[in-house]
């Protein structure tokens, strides 16, 4: 069972492997937000969770690219599941 229900908001850290969400905000430091945006992680972008990593991180897919993000970084990415 997903911790986030349809049309709910939360953080990317709470999205289960295999699910997708849409970024609604970046709630992190300006430097970290800028780096995430450089990777294509911007409000309105759909993100898929591909796999879990050690320490609570995840491998995510954004468009055609995949990135490994720490659990801390994931908690700063606010998302909506529609």
Say what the pLDDT of residue 9 is.
80
* Domains contained in the chain, number: 1
Say what the pLDDT of residue 48 is.
97
The residue range of the domain holding 41 is 8-81
CB 3 within 8 A of CB 49: no
Transcribe the chain into DSSP letters. --SS-TTEEEEGGGSPTT-EEEEEEE-S-HHHHHHHHHTT--TT-EEEEEEE-GGG-EEEEETTEEEEE-HHHHHTEEEEE-
CB 69 within 8 A of CB 55: no
Q: What is the CATH number of the domain that holds 65?
A: 2.30.30.90
Look at residue 50 and tell me if it is in a domain. Answer: yes
Look at residue 52 and tell me if it is in a domain. Answer: yes
Look at residue 48 and tell me if it is in a domain. Answer: yes
Say what the pLDDT of residue 4 is.
44
Q: Average pLDDT of each block of 10 consecutive residues along the chain (82 residues)? A: 54 95 96 95 97 94 96 96 76
Look at residue 2 and tell me if it is in a domain. Answer: no
């Amino acid at each position: 069972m997903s911790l986030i229900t349809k049309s709910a908001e939360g953080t990317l850290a709470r999205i289960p492997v295999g699910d997708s969400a849409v970024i609604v905000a970046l709630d992190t430091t300006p430097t970290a937000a800028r780096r995430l945006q450089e990777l294509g992680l911007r409000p309105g972008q759909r993100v898929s969770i591909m796999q879990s990593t050690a320490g609570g991180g995840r491998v995510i897919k954004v468009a055609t690219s995949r990135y490994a993000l720490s659990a801390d970084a994931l908690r700063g990415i606010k998302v909506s599941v529609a």
